[in-house]
Amino acid sequence: MTTPKKLFIKTYGCQMNVYDSERMSEALGGQGYVATDRPEDADMILLNTCHIRERAAEKVYSELGRYRDLKEANPDLKIGVAGCVAQAEGAEIMRRQPLVDLVVGPQSYHRLPQMEAQIRTGVRAIDTDFPEEDKFEALKARPKARRAPAAFLTVQEGCDKFCAFCVVPYTRGAEVSRPADRILTEARELVDRGVRELTLLGQNVNAYHGAGPDGDWTLARLIWALNDVDGLERIRFTTSHPNDMTEDLIDAHATCPKLMPYLHLPVQSGSDKILKRMNRSHTADSYLKLIDRLRAARPDILMSGDFIVGFPEETEEDFQATLDLIETVGYGYAYTFKYSTRPGTPAAERAQVDEDVKDERLKRIQALITRQQQEIQQSMVGRDLTVLFEKPGRFEGQMGGKSEYLHAVHVDAPQAKPGDMARVRIVESVRNSLKGVLI
Ligand code: SAH
Ligand code: SF4
Ligand code: F3S
């Protein structure tokens, strides 16, 4: 028997990269690889990269440089770069870094097994195509190993929105939705392997329009079909765009039993002038009206968002409008970013805001967000929630899991196993999590 080769994958960026890394690991499993979390033991190192903000490529080069000694010690070690930096700068990476054997873009993962065979013969491989074939189908061969209770499932990929700051339409390509039956099959397989909660992924997940048995399905149709999958307990989806929040999806938040009361709905700015320049094609007011409709459908829905500060030509007044919008909405979670120039995007060419102004605004927005998050987390104390246990906590007999609202909850539950669900009374809010007791 040959000893299995070891694969070390380091994942950057969004949840879709996490999903992609799992799929790549499974694809290479067919080539005799098993996962390791120690790069020094690996026969193949794969960096699954993100290109969303500045210095992404530099980070990749410096990480690659750290593997030089490993490659000298083990000439059989192969090094690959995957993900959005690979898509954007693949040829450049090959030219600049001879250590790299393989470059693969997000749409070509299914070709990894052939590429691996090629690099084993000493020939470097690069694939950053947007191929015609369905990579998800080609990646089908999947092991039946147990999975953690919460998993991601990509249903839609790519983006046609072209926000003026964003590289995603270039790195992930045009919007594509997977057919509904394939998603349902994958969901059932995941449930058979122990999954209880699915987060449906897409760069614009609510623009989902995959082929169904009776014409194209909306995301709401897909969610309702998943609601009927036995053994699946919870459904979430991310990331949504305000312009694709359709009536049936809002309605699903009111009526679909397994759909969780949580929504990540980035708005980026509270200033209409900035939103226009960002090419967001919604206003602050239309966003707030949308939130009103969501809350009318599901009063306890917990909102999450993304914000960019220091976008070109953002004035103090524009920034204040963003703070006002945050005050009005009340976010349970939010991700705040300093605007970062991305070559090839329209906003990169415009008059930039000073770095210290951006720093100062970031501090202020983060202070506000932290306060809101803490208040909302604190408001859970005294409430009875349902927790899906994911893994043992730090202390003996303790289990950690997530509430409906995605807060981390720790509970003394010596009998519980990952995948179990329990009703829990929340007794305390500590920095980044809640403490609960079994009811
Ligand atoms: N719709 C996408 C958004 C991806 S990028 C999704 O599926 O998640 C995630 C967030 O990064 C964006 O919402 C935006 O707030 C931020 N972002 C994107 N480009 C950026 C840039 N050039 N500078 C700063 N933040 C950026
Ligand atoms: Fe980027 Fe905008 Fe598309 Fe989101 S909607 S991926 S921010 S271009
Ligand atoms: Fe990054 Fe690509 Fe995701 S740029 S955020 S890894 S889509």
CATH number of the domain to which 409 belongs: 2.40.50.140
Is there a domain that residue 361 lies in? yes
Residues 387 and 361 in one domain: no
Q: In Å, what is the CA distance from 84 to each residue of 53, 54, 427?
A: 11, 13, 43
267/287 Cα distance (integer angstroms)? 7
pLDDT at residue number 14: 94
Residues 316 and 415 in one domain: no
Is there a domain that residue 253 lies in? yes
Residues 360 and 411 in one domain: no
Residues 94 and 199 in one domain: no
pLDDT at 11 over 90: yes
Is there a domain that residue 25 lies in? yes
pLDDT at residue number 1: 53
- Measured from CB, residues less than 6 Å from any atom of ligand 3 are 13-14, 16-17, 50-52, 83-84, 167-168, 171-172
Decide which of 101, 127, 153 is a domain's last residue: 127
pLDDT at residue number 22: 92
pLDDT at residue number 54: 84
Tell me the average pLDDT across 261-288.
98
Residues 389 and 292 in one domain: no
Ligand 2 centroid to residue 365 C-alpha, Å? 21
Residues 169 and 314 in one domain: yes
335 lines ligand 2 (CB under 6 A): no
User: Residue 219 in contact with residue 208, Cβ under 8 Å?
Assistant: yes
Confidence of residue 120 (pLDDT cuts 50, 70, 90): very high
pLDDT in tens, 55-107: 888 899 999 999 999 999 998 999 999 999 999 999 999 999 999 999 999 99
Is there a domain that residue 134 lies in? no
Q: Which numbered atom of ligand 2 lies nearest the CA of 160? A: 3
403 φ, ψ (degrees, to nearest 5): -85, 175
161-179 burial, b if ≥16 CB within 10 A, otherwise e? bebbbbbbbbbbbebbbbb
Tell me the average pLDDT across 421-426.
98
159 lines ligand 2 (CB under 6 A): yes
Residues 163 and 258 in one domain: yes
Tell me the average pLDDT across 6-28.
94
Tell me the average pLDDT across 205-230.
97
Domain harbouring 36, CATH code = 3.40.50.12160
Number of structural domains (the chain) is 3
Is there a domain that residue 120 lies in? yes
pLDDT in tens, 128-182: 988 877 787 777 656 678 899 999 999 999 999 999 999 999 999 999 999 999 9
205 lines ligand 2 (CB under 6 A): no
Any idea which residue has 């794969």 for tokens? 46
Residues 183 and 306 in one domain: yes
Residues 281 and 364 in one domain: yes
pLDDT at residue number 145: 81
Decide which of 379, 397, 414 is a domain's last residue: 379
pLDDT at residue number 143: 65
Ligand 3 centroid to residue 21 C-alpha, Å? 13
- Angle, alpha carbons 210-216-220 (nearest 5°): 75
pLDDT in tens, 347-391: 999 999 999 999 999 999 999 999 999 999 999 999 999 999 999
Ligand 3 centroid to residue 73 C-alpha, Å? 32
pLDDT at residue number 195: 97
Tell me the average pLDDT across 10-23.
95
Is there a domain that residue 118 lies in? yes
Task: Quickly list H helices, 161-261.
Answer: 168-171, 180-192, 219-227, 247-255
The whole domain housing 27 covers 5-127
Decide which of 379, 399, 420 is a domain's last residue: 379
Residues 410 and 290 in one domain: no
Is there a domain that residue 342 lies in? yes
Residues 177 and 295 in one domain: yes
Nearest-CA neighbor of 327 among 263, 372, 377? 372
Residue 256 annotated as binding? no
Tell me the average pLDDT across 311-319.
98
pLDDT at 2 over 90: no
Residues 116 and 176 in one domain: no
Q: Which two tokens stand for residue 189?
A: 């397989």
Is there a domain that residue 137 lies in? no
Atom 3, ligand 3: which residue's CA is nearest? 14
